[in-house]
Amino acid sequence: MAILRAKFVAVQRWTPVLAPRPLLARRYPEMKMKIRNIAIIAHVDHGKTTLVDQLMKQSGTFRANQQVAERAMDSNDLERERGITILAKATSVVHNDIRINIVDTPGHADFGGEVERILSMVDGVILLVDAAEGPMPQTKFVTGKALALGLRPIVVINKADRPDARADEVLNEIFDLFAALDADDDQLDFPHLFASGKQGWASDNLGDERRGLEPLFERVIAHVPEPDAVQHIDEPFTMLVSLIEADPYLGRILTGRIQSGVVRPNMSVRALSPDGTPVELGRISKILAFRGLERSALDEGQAGDIVALAGMTKATVADTIADTVVTVPIQAVPVDPPTLAMTFSINDSPLAGQEGSKVQSRVIRERLLREAEGNVALAVRQSEENDAFEVAGRGELQLGILIETMRREGFELSISRPRVIFRDDPETRQRLEPIESVQVDVDEEFTGIVVEKMSQRKAELQDMRPSGGGKTRLTFNAPSRGLIGYHGEFLTDTRGTGIMNRSFLEYGPYKGVIAGRVKGVLIANDTGVAVAYALWNLEDRGPMFIDPGAKVYQGMIIGEHTRDNDLEVNPMKGKQLTNIRTTSKDEAVRLTPPRRMSLEQAIAYVGDDELVEVTPQSIRLRKRHLDPNIRKRMSRSSDSAA
């Protein structure tokens, strides 16, 4: 009996520990936490991703012994190679029992669509500005979008530790920018901090004691309001989709901020298009939340939090995921339309199918439509040509990233020269074309050549001022047409020291004819393998694009002609051997290294009658029509039409 009594007493003592109330408290600690939702916006290379790294480190997101890569949020291979952020990504940190959801956004103007759709998920933004460069074109673009939505930015003047920093002047320039963008009184009274994202500190004044990023955390918690959605937690569940991605195990994953109500796994929901049309009925299979660099499964998502939902098969960006009783969708923020288009077609060269595994037009079409589904700044439509698709985007870099991604996936493509998308003024019927704001920083000695080249491209000089260190800052308004293919020439003119930044400004009146490439090309007249002796003899005609031993075909571009006309040549012609002996020594074949082009350079180089052949292993230039007789016939017809 004593043994039984002892066991009974032991059970009695453990019973309070197994009570359900403490378990429930441990199960849902995150849902009772206060929330702040912010986005970090800035011009490219002003330090957004580096600052996010430090925010996660100093908030205790990483273990003390955890190895974390530099710029941990840039998880894409292309992002790490190029050193830029391409896709917007979410994370979260906890500071003083308050969860701060952070969205890292791209800084390049071509990926502005990512920024526009992200701003609807947040209640505040951190505007990051380089202490030396000051506000740049993309700074103006993203700030204008944030101010238009009524957001009150926190200005962080980053890289204040640079030797050439001019923090106080930059602060005045930011105020002038806010005023020019019609900011209201509350927005003009913006809080500001001086910081170094690399060293991990921020302060109200440059001379203050360094306390890490604690002042930034305090400013975010005090200045960014709690989501309004928290007040609508008792209403039916609604969420606007802002990001979409695919997972091999969970399928389609939709990310957004919960606008009202509560969502739980296995909950029946309805997807509504922006006009209110039902898209599909489905069931939530998993709720994921961003916790540092990882995603954690939740048992419940509440209004105001940023979550990712799995279980839907058709819903996409700008759709509303809601309870089945909801019939009115959430209005999505409109995104600026594309300004540049290219034609993606199948690779029909004689070397097609030898390096890639995805060559059919059906496979290319499915891949492009899938990309356009998740990227609201892209538009895809069937072209008038057979097996070709017109892809419209924000700029050459954005479309170049898409092509490079498809290339690494095993696709073979033929890409046309970029062309701008024109519009007609609805009132005057005047033809309009996209105009960009271009900011150029060059050494004073190269100012003249840059102004001359830009004026040839119909650009108008808006401002010219010294920027320190013997450099001059030039600001132009230039048509997008004139800037296609100019960047390589710009680097040559400035000996590689110039920096050019572009951002879409507006649609303006058509500027007239702009001269294109002034030199012709060397075209192979037959199919085979290039010979060193032939390339050596052709060097007088112009620089080569290929190495000896490269496969060539009729109509392929192998070099640049020194004159303005195209020339057909034979790169396979070997040296004739005879039985005549001589005492003289043969000339040694010494070839000049060929000019190698990146994908973006090749796309900018080709003319209207040329294509870029893209495969997983090669980038080749070719004529649109490989047969010389067809090329002559098309040339005559275009001359007669002109």
Q: Mapped to the 3 state alphabet, what secondary structure does 425-468 carry?
A: CCCCCCEEEEEEEEEEEEEHHHHHHHHHHHHHCCCEEEEEEEEE
Per-residue model confidence (pLDDT) at position 115: 79
Going by C-alpha positions, the residue among 339, 137, 110, 102 that lies closest to residue 221 is: 102
| E strand intervals along 493-566 | 499-509, 521-524, 528-529, 551-552, 556-560
Per-residue model confidence (pLDDT) at position 471: 85
The average pLDDT across 475-494 equals 87
- Pairing status of strand 423-424 against strand 419-420: unpaired
Per-residue model confidence (pLDDT) at position 27: 36
The more confidently predicted of residues 529 and 377 is 529
Query: Confidence class of residue 631 from pLDDT cuts 50, 70 and 90?
Result: confident
| E strand intervals along 248-401 | 251-260, 262-263, 268-272, 278-283, 286-291, 294-298, 301-302, 306-310, 320-323, 340-345, 379-382, 388-393
Task: Please report, to the nearest 10 degrees, the dihedral formed by the alpha carbons of residues 476, 480, 481, 486 taken in order.
Answer: 60
pLDDT at 67 over 70: no
Per-residue model confidence (pLDDT) at position 212: 87
Per-residue model confidence (pLDDT) at position 21: 33
Average pLDDT of the chain, as a whole number: 84
Going by C-alpha positions, the residue among 299, 283, 285, 296 that lies closest to residue 249 is: 285
Per-residue model confidence (pLDDT) at position 16: 38
- CATH fold of 340-420, please? Alpha-Beta Plaits (3.30.70)
CA distance 239 to 306: 9
- CATH fold of 229-323, please? Elongation Factor Tu (Ef-tu); domain 3 (2.40.30)
Query: Confidence class of residue 52 from pLDDT cuts 50, 70 and 90?
Result: confident
CATH 2.40.30.10 location in the chain: 229-323
Per-residue model confidence (pLDDT) at position 12: 37
Per-residue model confidence (pLDDT) at position 9: 37
CA distance 492 to 486: 10
Per-residue model confidence (pLDDT) at position 517: 80
Q: What is the pTM of this model?
A: 0.81
CATH 3.20.20.140 corresponds to the domain 30-225: no
Which tens digits make up the pLDDT trace of 290-347? 887 778 898 999 888 889 999 998 888 889 999 999 999 998 877 778 889 999 999 9
DSSP state of 20: H
Which CATH class, in words, describes the domain spanning 423-509?
alpha beta
pLDDT at 64 over 60: no
Per-residue model confidence (pLDDT) at position 25: 31
Per-residue model confidence (pLDDT) at position 8: 35
The average pLDDT across 582-594 equals 72
Per-residue model confidence (pLDDT) at position 3: 43
Give me the percent of the chain exceeding a pLDDT of 90. 33
The average pLDDT across 137-151 equals 84
H helix intervals, 238-384:
361-374
Query: Confidence class of residue 70 from pLDDT cuts 50, 70 and 90?
Result: low
Query: Confidence class of residue 2 from pLDDT cuts 50, 70 and 90?
Result: very low
pLDDT at 23 over 50: no
The average pLDDT across 1-13 equals 39
Going by C-alpha positions, the residue among 486, 493, 520 that lies closest to residue 600 is: 486
Task: Please report, to the nearest 10 degrees, the dihedral formed by the alpha carbons of residues 294, 298, 303, 308 taken in order.
Answer: 50
Which CATH class, in words, describes the domain spanning 521-576+587-608+626-641?
mainly beta
pLDDT at 375 over 70: yes
pLDDT at 24 over 50: no
CATH 3.30.70.240 location in the chain: 423-509
pLDDT at 6 over 50: no
Give me the percent of the chain exceeding a pLDDT of 70. 90
The average pLDDT across 482-486 equals 86
Query: Confidence class of residue 585 from pLDDT cuts 50, 70 and 90?
Result: low
CATH 2.40.50.250 location in the chain: 521-576+587-608+626-641
pLDDT at 22 over 60: no
CA distance 608 to 611: 8
Per-residue model confidence (pLDDT) at position 71: 55
Q: What 3-state DSSP class applies to 382?
A: strand
The average pLDDT across 400-429 equals 90
The average pLDDT across 529-544 equals 91
Per-residue model confidence (pLDDT) at position 73: 58
Of the listed ranges 63-72, 389-398, 445-454, 552-561, the one predicted with least confidence: 63-72
134-to-137, 141, 167, 172, 187 alpha-carbon distances in Å: 10, 14, 8, 10, 19
CA distance 186 to 191: 10
**Contact status, residue 314 vs residue 280, Cβ threshold 8 Å:** yes
